[in-house]
Amino acid sequence: MFKKLTTDTYNWILIIGVILFIFEIAFFFGGTIIPALFSGFFMYIGWKKFDQLWGKILFWISLIGLVFSVLNLLAVRFLIIAAIVLFILNYSKSKKEAERINPILPGVDEVRTDPVIEMKPLFEHKLFDDQETVDAAYQWRDVNIHGVFGERIIDLSNTVLPKDTAIISIRHLMGNIEIYVPYEVEVSIHHSSVFGRAHIFGKHHWKLMNKSLFYQTPNYDKSYPRVKIITSIFSGDIEVKRT
């Protein structure tokens, strides 16, 4: 959507946002900017002491306060409304300009379809529940799931991986991810997190804040079986270890 906007449109949105920001500082004595700064300061203190209970409580309360303070800014409200309006206008325009292309192949009188078999995925999309692989042997299916809350546990020792590359893709909001990989399997891991920790084959990251990690075993590019793990989480820990 935003790729179709002209530079002038971007500039006008930015100019109006800056004017509203200055207007709020000048006539409302900072509005919610000062509470936002205080919330950010206390959130930083809570993050520094996140290993203690009071630090966790202070961090999350300050984060909620920061979100509400930022959303109360006139400039932020304007940007949200502008984004919604632009989305509606672009969607309406795309529906009117949509064009269906039907390719005609020479010598083919009728369209033939390839037979497909519907396969049951290894995991279903569950927003508020824990998920883990079964303890017994199971047939491998590539994993592509998203969720909101809960634990995600995948044990690859009870399955036979394909001869090419197995894929595990998890997008999650809050909760922990645990993945157990057999020793003979090569691994590539690309993990991104806003808040949390990561323990990947003995590599420990105790405080991740808006950071991405990328690891892979030495023979990943030339050996099989192998698994490619792509995870994205807002707040939570990931642990990948051998079993």
Which of 14-28, 46-60, 195-209, 211-225 shows the lowest mean pLDDT across its residues?
A: 14-28
pLDDT digits (tens, 9 = 90+) for 20-32: 777 777 766 656 6
pLDDT digits (tens, 9 = 90+) for 9-20: 666 777 777 787
Across the range 119-144, mean pLDDT stands at: 73
Query: What is the predicted pLDDT for the residue at 234?
Result: 86
Query: What is the predicted pLDDT for the residue at 189?
Result: 93
pLDDT digits (tens, 9 = 90+) for 53-81: 888 888 888 888 888 887 777 777 777 88
CB-based contact 154:214 (threshold 8 Å): no
Q: Enter the pTM of the model.
A: 0.53
Q: Is the pLDDT of residue 166 over 70?
A: yes
> Residues 136-143: contacts with CB within 8 Å, 24+ apart?
140/166, 142/166, 142/167, 142/168, 142/169, 143/167, 143/168, 143/169, 143/170
150 vs 114: which has the higher pLDDT: 150
SS3 content of the chain, % helix, strand, coil (to 5): 35, 30, 35
Q: Is the pLDDT of residue 187 over 60?
A: yes
